[in-house]
Chain A
Amino acid sequence: QTVVTQEPSFSVSPGGTVTLTCGLSSGSVSTGHYPSWYQQTPGQAPRTLIYYTDTRSSGVPDRFSGSILGNKAALTITGAQADDESDYYCVLYMGSGIDWVFGGGTKLTVL
């Protein structure tokens, strides 16, 4: 069974840049997996940041960007702010019969 992999945790300094990745235990992530990224803070519903690899959701600041880097999907946050401290999840479309699979999430600390 294919697993979607994310860094369990990451740390960034205020104002810094961080790139979170989303990979596969077997194979490469491509645009055909329609990677999406979601931000979730405790007690809140997930917020859509990026979908279709690099399309920013309405109202999301342009310091959030999505891409394919090598064999993984990536979420880059430039100019990190304190309120970016959240859990970040990617989800990939794995095709008929499996459909959508989430990564385990990355806990981002801004300090």
Chain B
Amino acid sequence: QVQLQESGPGLVKPSQTLSLTCTVSGGSISSGTYYWSWIRRPAGKGLEWLGRVYTSGDTNYNPSLNSRVTISVDTSKNQFSLKLSSVTAADTAVYYCARGPGGWHWGQGTLVTVSS
């Protein structure tokens, strides 16, 4: 059974870049025709899809993030990553990584707080 685990700093200063990594275990990130997504849930709000990456490196992003988001994959490490630039307090959220398509398979999530 594949498992996903998010990791990264829990506190980021405003205007800096948020960086998170999702480590995939129990299977190769390159096997199958999957894509790998990032989703977040700000406190008191709903879920928001941020973007996805294929193991080919192709990406799709939520246009509402105004090009602040970059998602990449490192097949040698069985990981994929999220970078969100120029963060503000509005980016404070629990960030999840997930595998699709079909029913998404989720990581447990990690809380990132944007504060000085």
Residues of A within 8 A of B (CB): 34, 36, 38, 40, 45-48, 50-52, 55, 57-58, 87, 89, 91, 96-105
Greatest chain A CB density within 10 A among B37, B103, B107 is at: B103
B residues in contact with A58, CB < 8 Å:
103
A100 to B39 Cα, complex, angstroms: 10
**Inter-chain contact A102/B103, CB cutoff 8 Å:** no
Size category of the binding interface on chain B: 20 to 34
Would A48 and B47 be within 8 Å (CB), given that A97-B63, A98-B63, A99-B60 are in contact? no
Would A99 and B103 be within 8 Å (CB), given that A89-B46, A105-B47 are in contact? no
B residues in contact with A105, CB < 8 Å:
46-47
Q: Which of A51, A97, A100 has a CB less than 8 Å from the CB of B103?
A: A51
B residues in contact with A38, CB < 8 Å:
47, 104
User: What distance in Å separates the Cβ of B38 from its nearest Cβ neighbour in chain A?
Assistant: 11
Judge if B49 is at the interface, Cβ distance under 8 Å. Answer: yes
**Inter-chain contact A57/B60, CB cutoff 8 Å:** no
Judge if B80 is at the interface, Cβ distance under 8 Å. Answer: no
B residues in contact with A47, CB < 8 Å:
106
Extra inter-chain contacts (11) besides given A58-B103, A99-B62, CB under 8 Å = A40-B47, A46-B39, A46-B47, A48-B105, A50-B103, A97-B63, A98-B63, A99-B52, A99-B60, A101-B49, A105-B46
CB-CB contacts of B57-68 with A at 8 A, as 1s and 0s? 000111100000
Judge if B102 is at the interface, Cβ distance under 8 Å. Answer: yes
A residues in contact with B105, CB < 8 Å:
48
Would A100 and B49 be within 8 Å (CB), given that A45-B108, A46-B96 are in contact? yes
A101 to B64 Cα, complex, angstroms: 11
**Inter-chain contact A55/B103, CB cutoff 8 Å:** yes
